[in-house]
Amino acid sequence: MSVNFEYYKIFYYVAKYRNISKAAGALRNNQPNLTRVIKLLENELGCQLMLRTNKGIVLTEEGEKLYGYVQPAVEGLWKAEEELTGRTGPEGGTVILGASETALHLFLFDRIQEYHEKYPDVRVKIYNHSTPQALAALKNGLIDFAVVTMPVKPEPPVKAKELYTFRDILAGGVRYMDMAKETHSLSDVADCSFVSMEKNTSTYEMYSRFFLEMGLEFAPDIEVATADLILPMLENNLGLGFLPEKLAGPSIKSGKICQIRIKEKIPERGVSLVYDTERGLNAAAREMKKILLENIVDNL
């Protein structure tokens, strides 16, 4: 009996995520096709591999046993492919990055442009992740490395190297122009409506700690999934929000938003390269990593 390798690849993703929808997204496939393939694989092997429950996919005893063999086989093939591709030099390789929205705008776009000019034939794939999502993708071997906003607490063998430092400012739309005329304590503005990144992001956690240190609660009225959504929310007078001064500058200059000065010093933030020290990179990814580390910027 010979089973199509693609069947095992699909089984690998569904078993890893324990979710058909997430596996379909990772494979850029559709859910009905993945379900069909899993059923075909079960028919070929003569046993049930998975059960669908309200909480997602549960592997049967046979499914767990198969995953124990499939996981190292699939990941081993990918690792071998990367190492072999690396021998041909960076000109023909692929770099796969995970990046947060803020990291992209503050640091990464310029570095990618520099890299692309040097190696125009290298394919660069960028997945827009929150910091926790990027760390999960790195851990699962879906990306070569990540460029994300701090704070981040990687666990060995993952390490983080700071590339760029900055501070946020507090800003609001035109309805807050009167507030912009004076400097306030954080306690003065704590009861205002706030727009923030959603829970379980490094940004949300940082501001929760910042407010807590001042004896205040950080309770935003609007939470967004990506940092690029904060600015338009402020421009439409939906609340106050923290965002990097570099990104807020054009809208402040045009009068769409204004800076609300506070007495307390907003914590320093950073953009960091996060990578797995035990994972080999192909030549294209190694060269990208080198360029990132050569362009460390202190913006404070």
Architecture of domain 165-269: 3-Layer(aba) Sandwich (3.40)
User: Using one digit for the tens of pLDDT, what is the confidence trace for 22-57?
Assistant: 888 878 788 889 999 999 999 989 999 999 888 788
Contact in structure between 8 and 78 (CB atoms under 8 Å): no
| pLDDT score for 241 | 97
- Residue closest to 259 by CA, chosen among 273, 272, 243: 243
Domain assignments of the chain as residue spans, ordered by start? 5-86, 90-163+270-298, 165-269
* Three-class secondary structure assignment of the chain: CCCCHHHHHHHHHHHHHCCHHHHHHHHCCCHHHHHHHHHHHHHHHCCCCEEEECCEEEECHHHHHHHHHHHHHHHHHHHHHHHHHHCCCHHHCEEEEEECHHHHHHHHHHHHHHHHHHCCCCEEEEEECCHHHHHHHHHCCCCCEEEEECCCCCCCCEEEEEEEEEEEEEEEEHHHCCHHHCCECHHHHCCCCEEEECCCCHHHHHHHHHHHHCCCCCCCCEEECCHHHHHHHHHCCCCEEEEEHHHHHHHHHCCCEEECCECCCCCEEEEEEEEECCCCCCHHHHHHHHHHHHCCEECC
Q: Are 272 and 152 in contact (CB under 8 A)?
A: yes
What is the predicted pLDDT for the residue at 152?
Answer: 79
pLDDT at 92: 62
- Max Cα–Cα distance, the chain, nearest Å: 77
The CATH-assigned architecture of domain 5-86 is Orthogonal Bundle (1.10)
DSSP 143: S
- The string of pLDDT tens digits covering residues 160-170 is 999 999 999 99
Residue 18, token pair as written in the block? 């324990």
Q: pLDDT-based confidence at 16, cuts 50/70/90?
A: confident
User: Do the domains spanning 90-163+270-298 and 165-269 agree at the CATH topology level?
Assistant: yes
The whole-number pLDDT of residue 300 equals 47
Phi and psi torsions of 297, nearest 5°: -125, 130
**CATH: 3.40.190.10, 3.40.50.2000, 3.30.1330.60, 3.40.640.10. Which one for 90-163+270-298?**
3.40.190.10
Find the length of the chain. 300
Kindly report, residue by residue over 193-249, the tens digit of the pLDDT: 999 999 988 889 999 999 999 999 999 999 998 888 999 999 999 999 999 999 999
> How many CA atoms within 13 Å lie on the side-chain side of 34?
24
Residues 6+ apart with CB under 8 A from 267: 167, 206, 210
pLDDT at 21: 85
pLDDT of res. 216? 97
